[in-house]
Homo-oligomer: A and B are copies of this chain.
Amino acid sequence: MTPTSTEETGTWAESARERISEAGLRRSTPRQRVVDLLDQQDCAITALEIDARLDRVGRATVYRAIEQLEELGLVRKVDLGGSAFGYEKVEPSGHHHHHIVCDECGKVEPFEDDALEEAIHEIHRKGFKLESHEVTLHGHCSDCD
């Protein structure tokens, strides 16, 4: 018996699987592999990093899978200030974080801040029709102090 390693990983991969079927998409092996890899990440990963880590899965498939997951609200696209975008799973809990990029070494760290979220919600109330928001802070990490 080969145990399904994904069921141990958490709830996101499972809910992703469900949403994929509900949306009428096939549960193809390459798509599952992209889902599983995203599930294992704690923060954003680029499309080409996913591509590089998945042998026998084509670039086009990786980009397509990400795009579909994004449309299903399962994945968020984040702008890390570099040349490539990052992608990360959207937690079913609604929890989300923003990013601090170290301008020295390029390291990306997640952070959360309630006052910031509140301020952004206020902007929403002031009349802008916001779909989503994204905050990227730039500075120096502890290593590059």
Contact = CB atoms under 8 A, between A and B. Distances in A.
A133 B129 contact: no
A130 B139 contact: yes
A116 interface: yes
Contacts of A145: 129
Contacts of A128: 100, 111, 137, 139
A134 B133 CA distance: 11
Interface string A110-126: 01010110111011000
B113 A119 contact: yes
Contact of A113 (B123, B130, B132): B123
A33 interface: no
A138 B130 contact: yes
A20 interface: no
A103 interface: yes
A133 B137 contact: yes
Interface of A: 79, 81, 100, 103, 111, 113, 115-116, 118-120, 122-123, 128-140, 145
